[in-house]
Chains A and B, each alone.
Chain A
């Protein structure tokens, strides 16, 4: 589904991603961990098409197409979705409006009929249940005045409505309380299908107890320095990043 080859990316002439290789197949869950500032969000934003980042080397193939040639909205309509680490507030635009517009853009793209407000309301009510979100949030401005946890939950609601093929969840678990974490994780699991995939960026092993990853990768200074199965996350939880950092240091200087 997704293949990233030797990806280098800069922002303001600062190289952040320094040669990333990653292959994600349909049905898989990949967890990406790594210390603060290592480039996890950068990778997520490059995948989503943020205009501030420049890809200087490498390529990204998504469903056989060159992802880097596509605009952010085109990527979205083709099934790429990023849940933001810091979801953006959009004053004056209600959650329901944005969700319906986004949903209909995708429907149009797929050559399907658009849903009118009433039809969409039904769909929305059903999807909101998936993340246990009160319908009162639908008439409020997108993320405006939402608590940190509510914003995260709202991102997953968007995911539930848009049903992406490739979902990149950037620290969706940060800021969620214990119950919310379980609800959101359950929601994500219900959205899993053999034909979609998830890249889950996280700092904590805990969410991986609910959303069980097939692979765990450690990103450090813009490179994936270690990959393994779900037990790697447990090991990191126990030992921290120092051993990886020193190993990576050794490799780098070798």
Chain B
């Protein structure tokens, strides 16, 4: 009885917020979206927040999110100065191809799309819902991210109001990386960014999601990103999560790959006190290729959880997955990687590795690779390691004149390099090298 009462109270905040949102926007949004949100809310009130007794949530307790009293983003007007304050978080390469969001709302005044070709459609989601693309959005939105089973996807879906819409018609190639900059900087705000990417046949682009926010506010981001990569299309995707240290970040990424499509992603997790990322890549037609990499780097007071699913539904697809974790202080990491190979998916080539570097005795990581294979002609491998810095390597570097701290940072840099070197956007790579070499123990190293 007790627990039921608490649960009711915990979802109560969201029921109220939903009513508010609905009153504000019901007349503005298409009726299908109104229905979708209602359905998702119903799901969420049924599911509630995930309990730690659920296998998928065994190591990550979201009670602090459930208990907190966040303020809905639509009740706050993100001031222009707020956006300006975070302007330096726009990557150099994306100066003229950036969408800025303050507390979940698209801000055209802070955004710049000058570098994008006319044929590419890049819009704030609320604007897109009022545009000619509304029908296409209706056909694809919430088709992938399963809000019927996933608590946070349901919650996000119930609150779809704004985010980004990226549509690359057939054959369109975008040179400049498209950056989505999400800023949360107005107290204990909760925001629900929603992103829909449709990359039609033979199109090509790079997408960067970057999440930043106030260091001292316990705010909450619940993001859902759905990506369709059609035949022979190619998408490079980066997610850089550097939310404020007191914040909560939950994100769901869902990707569908068609025939011979290519999707490469690198997820970088640096911020938030509690972060959970669910990423699923579904290979639905022959010859698709995906690379899903990640780097999480956490210190005292941080918990970072990645759950990935690579689903091979068609023959002759390849998937590579490399996740590396650097855990310092009293931090906690969770990696759960699942590869699912359907019976039809013959000649699958699937590879997954998770490596963790423990810089402190008080850090802890739980890693669990899972292979479920129902085809007989496949090449699959997976592995996980948890280790410390090698004493002999440390000594070697010290005999070359590097202090203990510098030697340690350099080895940590070397550990991360396997993930970092594959990043094709220079600014992101440089940012990470700097974070790794300087954030750790405050000893600057210049490794150019």
Which A residues are within 8 Å of any B CB, using their own CB? 48-52, 71-73, 75-77, 81-82, 84, 87-93, 97-98, 101-102, 104-106, 109, 114, 116-117, 141, 158, 162
Contact = CB atoms under 8 A, between A and B. Distances in A.
Contacts of A93: 410-411, 413-414, 417, 447
11 contacts: A48-B395, A51-B395, A71-B404, A76-B400, A89-B393, A91-B415, A92-B414, A92-B417, A98-B400, A104-B446, A109-B401
A81 B398 CA distance: 11
Contact of B398 (A72, A90, A109, A158): A72
B383 to A, nearest CB: 16
A92 B401 contact: no
A101 to B, nearest CB: 6
B393 A105 contact: no
Given A51-B395, A72-B398, A90-B396, A98 B410 contact: yes
Interface string B401-414: 11110110011011
A199 to B, nearest CB: 14
Contact of B407 (A73, A87, A116): A73
Contact of B403 (A73, A88, A141): A73
B397 interface: yes
B31 interface: no
A117 B448 contact: yes
B401 A77 contact: yes
A88 B417 contact: no
A48 B398 CA distance: 9
Contact of B401 (A84, A88, A91, A162): A162
Contacts of A81: 399
B418 interface: yes
Given A76-B400, A91-B417, A101-B446, 11 more contacts: A52-B391, A72-B395, A73-B402, A88-B393, A91-B414, A92-B413, A93-B447, A97-B448, A101-B400, A101-B406, A105-B400
B392 interface: yes
A48 B407 CA distance: 16
B168 to A, nearest CB: 34
A106 B400 CA distance: 9
B416 interface: yes
A189 to B, nearest CB: 22
B399 A72 contact: yes
Contacts of A116: 448
- Candidate in B403, B416, B445 with the most chain A CB atoms within 10 angstroms: B403
A76 B398 contact: yes
Choose among B395, B406, B417, B448 the residue with the greatest number of A CB atoms under 10 Å from its CB. B395
B391 to A, nearest CB: 8
Contacts of B448: 97, 116-117
A141 B414 CA distance: 9
Contacts of A104: 446
Contacts of B390: 88
B414 A90 contact: yes
A212 B417 CA distance: 43
Given A73-B398, A76-B398, A92-B418, A101 B445 contact: yes
A81 B396 CA distance: 11
A50 B395 contact: yes
A32 B447 CA distance: 37
A47 to B, nearest CB: 10
B401 A73 contact: yes
